[in-house]
Amino acid sequence: MSPRLGAKAIVAAAGIGAALLLGWLASSQGPLAPTKVTLAKVEQGPLVASTFGIGTVEARRSYAIGPTFASRVARVFVDQGDTVRAGQLLAELDPVDLVDRVSSGKFAAERASSTIRAAEAQLADAQSRAQLASASARRYAELRAQGFVSQEASDAKGHDADAAKAAVDAAAAQLAVSRRDRERALADVAGVGKLRAQARLVSPVDGVVSARLVEPGTTVVAGQAMLQLIDPASLWVKARIDQGQAGGVRVGQPAQIVLRSEPNRAYLGQVERVDLVSDAVTEERIVNVGFAARPEGIAVGELIEVTIRTAELSKVRSVPAAAVKRLARQDGVWQITDGRVAFRPVKFGITSLDGRSQILEGLNAGDEVVVHSERELTPGAKVRVVPAIVRAGS
C-alpha cells in the first residue's frame, strides 16, 4: 500500500467526517432543526367538569346587637366565644333618668286617680243640687199657675234648675278629663318602661358571641353594633368564582372544600345558593357552599378553596388541553402529515380541571394531535416526534 493512497484516504475521510459533522450540527441543533413535538391520541371516556374558586368561611346568619338610642354602655355580660340562649341578657345601657321618669309617671297616675275621685264627688254634688233645683222650679211653676208667686220668682227658680243641670254636665266633663289624665299618666309609665327595657340588650337567638366590640363606659350611637352573634349551625362558605367559569354552577351540585389550615384534607359540601347579583368589579360570581359535616374549630373568615363538580359526561372524546391552540381566531389542533404540521379546526366543549378538553366535532377517537412543541408552530413547519421534550425528572 503506497503512502500516497493512505494519505488521500485519510484526507478524504476527514473531509467527509467534517461535512457530516457540520450537516448534523446545522440540521439538529440550530434554528433550522425540525421542531420537537409530542403526540397524543384522542381518547374516549368519562370527563368530569369542575370549577374552582376561593372564598371565606362565613356565617349565613349573623346578628349585630346594638342600641336604638344614643347612650352609654353600663354593663356587658358576655364575651367572645360565649354560647347564649334566646332572651338572655347580653348587655345593659346606662338608663340615666329613665327609672326616675317611670316613678314620676307613676306619681302622676296616682295624682290623676285622686283627681278622679274629687271629680266624682263634685259630680255627685252637682247632681244633688240639680235635683233640688229642678224640684223647686217645678213647685214654683205650680204656685205661679195658682197665682201665689210672681212670674219673676218662678222664672228665677227655672233658671236655677237649668244652671244646676249645666253644673252637672261640667262636673261630668271634669270627671272624664281626670280619667283621661290618669290613662295618659299610665301610658307614659308604660312607654318609659319600654324604653327602659330597650336599654337591656337581649339575645334574639341561640348562638355564639363572635365579637365584643365595646366595653362599659363607651358611648354608643343608635344603630352601632356592640356585640355580634352568629348561629354556628349556619356556617357556610362564600366562594368567589370567575364569571368565565361559573356557567355550569347550580344549587345542589357536590363540592369539595379545603381549608387553608388543613390543606391536605377535603371536606364535602354542596352548593346551597348562587347569588343572583355577581360582582361587576372583580367579575366573579358569588356561590355559597354548605358543609356536609361542619369541621371542628373552624374560624369565620378563614380562606378556603372550593372545587365544584358541575357536570359528569360519561362517554366523550377528549384531548389534552395543551393541544388546544388558536390560529386566525379559530380553535383547533395541529396534526402531522408527512413530517409537517397542519392546523385542523375543532370545536371544543368543556375542559376538566386536570387538563382534558372535550371535543364536540372535528376529530375522531384515535386521531393523533400535537400536544407539546419546542416552539410556536406555524403551518407547514417541519417537526420531529419525540416521546417527551423535557425528560421526566430533569
Give yes or no for residue 373 binding another protein (CB under 8 A). Answer: yes
Dist CA 385 CA 152 (whole Å):
142
- DSSP labels for 37-67? EEEEE-EEEEEEEEEEEEEEEEESSEEEE--
Q: Which residues on adjacent β-strands are paired with residue 341?
A: 336
Write the interaction track for another protein spanning residues 309-328; mark x where CB under 8 A is met and - where it is not: -----------xxx-xx--x
Placement of cell 473531509 in the chain: 15
- From 17-25, 102-110, 149-157, 178-186, give the range in contact with another protein by CB under 8 A: 17-25
Rounded Cα distance, 139 and 127, in Å: 19
Single-letter amino acid code for the residue at 3: P
Q: Which of residues 326-345 bind another protein (CB under 8 A)?
A: 328-329
Closer residue to another protein in complex, CB, 97/376: 376
Secondary structure (3-state) at 324: coil
Cα angle, residue 381 at apex, residues 380 and 383 outer, rounded to 5° = 125
Q: Residue with C-alpha cell 237649668?
A: 162
Residues 23-82 that bind another protein (CB under 8 A): 25-26, 29-32, 52-54
> Among residue numbers 212 through 271, which ones bind another protein (CB under 8 A)?
219, 221, 223-225, 241-242, 244-245, 263
Q: How far apart are CA 283 and CA 243, in angstroms?
A: 6
Compose the 168-207 pattern: x for residues touching another protein by CB under 8 A, - for all others: ----------------------------------------
Helices 151-198 and 98-146 meet at what angle, rounded to 10? 170
Residue 155 or residue 305: which is nearer to another protein going by CB?
A: 305
- Least distance (Å) from another protein to the CB of residue 301? 13
> Closest distance between another protein and the C-beta of residue 369, in Å?
13
The C-alpha angle with vertex 120 and arms to 116 and 123, in degrees rounded to 5, equals 135
Compute how many residues bind another protein; rule: CB under 8 A: 55
The residues facing 41 across adjacent strands are 368
Q: CA 88, CA 204: separation in Å to the nearest integer?
A: 8
Mark 351-370 with x for binding to another protein (rule: CB under 8 A) and - for no binding.
xxxxx---------------
Name the residue nearer to another protein (CB basis): 180 or 375: 375
HSE value, Cβ hemisphere, 13 Å, CA-based, for 69 = 14
Nearest distance from C-beta of residue 103 to another protein, angstroms: 32
Strands 303-320 and 254-259: antiparallel
Nearer to another protein, 23 or 339 (CB): 23
Q: How far is the CB of 167 from another protein (least distance, A)?
A: 59
Q: Which residues bind another protein (CB under 8 A)?
A: 3-4, 7-8, 10-11, 18, 21-22, 25-26, 29-32, 52-54, 219, 221, 223-225, 241-242, 244-245, 263, 281-282, 305, 320-322, 324-325, 328-329, 351-355, 371-377, 388-390, 393-394
